[in-house]
Amino acid sequence: MAAKQVKITKDGEEGFCMESSVAAWERNGWTRADDGSSEEEAKVTERPLETQAKTTKEG
Amino acid sequence: MARIIPNENTWIGFTAAVVADISAPKAATLAAAIDLTGHCISLNASARGNTVPTPSFDSLFETSTTGTSAATFDADFYRDDEDDLAWETLPRGTRGTFFIARYGGSGANNLPIAGDDLEVWTVMVTSRTMANMSSNTVLTFTASCAVNVEPAEDAVVAT
């Protein structure tokens, strides 16, 4: 799902949130890392879907 | 410790930060997380395993072996016209990590600190659904999530 996300930081922690939720994060001490003029099209790295079903060849 | 209820014990946090090692999240990451404890009514974070039948003609006993496993995550939160933190934090498409300290942590307001046990669930919100509105009933919603990383159900907070 491609959605516009905003890079935010707090105390050295970095992450991305939805544009619509920036205010909620800011109220909790997070700050947006960009200047607010352009939202980043975040490509959050996904880990492998380790738990996704695999075909079992046993039996 | 004894058999307890979640009220005034459990702590639930959510962070947008990438947690490098979900089996040992840093205390600083938890401290920076949004505390959703006071907004949460119920939470269902559970894993489920599958077994694969492996019967054979030489036995009447039907054997089985371990198969895949999966997990589901959804939680109910209050809406609040003054502090709508949960609703605003969890719009559809949000990626992040829930920290669940079912027995609470050793820090202030049950915040887990280094050495405390907790569960770490990396999720993506797939829907944010309002409960049916009805007379004499508080407004609530359900956040349903995809669990896109195998959860760490026995994590310990690192320094």
pTM for the whole structure: 0.85
Domains, chain B, with CATH or none? 11-48+62-156 (2.30.110)
Chain B residues in contact with A46 (beta carbon < 8 A): 148
**B16 closest CB neighbour out of A16, A27, A47:** A16
Chain B residues in contact with A29 (beta carbon < 8 A): 32
B 87-116 residues inside an 8 A Cβ radius of A? 88-91, 93-96
Residue type, B34: I
Per-residue pLDDT of chain B (159 residues; tens, 9 = 90+): 689 999 999 999 999 998 999 999 999 999 999 999 999 999 999 999 999 999 999 999 999 999 999 999 999 999 999 999 999 999 999 999 999 999 999 999 999 999 999 999 999 999 999 999 999 999 999 999 999 999 999 999 999
Instruction: Return the HEC string of chain B.
Output: CCCCCCCCCCEEEEECECCCCCCCCEHHHHHHCEECHHHEEEEEEEEEEEEEECCCCCCCCCCEEEEEEEEEEEEEEECCCCCCHHHHHCCCCCEEEEEEECCCCCCHHHCCCCCCEEEEEEEEEEEEEECCCCCCCCCEEEEEEEECCCCEEEEECEC
**A46 closest CB neighbour out of B91, B94, B148:** B148
Which residue's structure tokens are 């027995």?
B103
The answer, for A35 touching chain B at a CB cutoff of 8 Å, is no
The answer, for A41 touching chain B at a CB cutoff of 8 Å, is no
* Rounded CA separation B157/B118 (Å): 7
Pick the residue from chain A with its C-alpha nearest to B71. Answer: A51
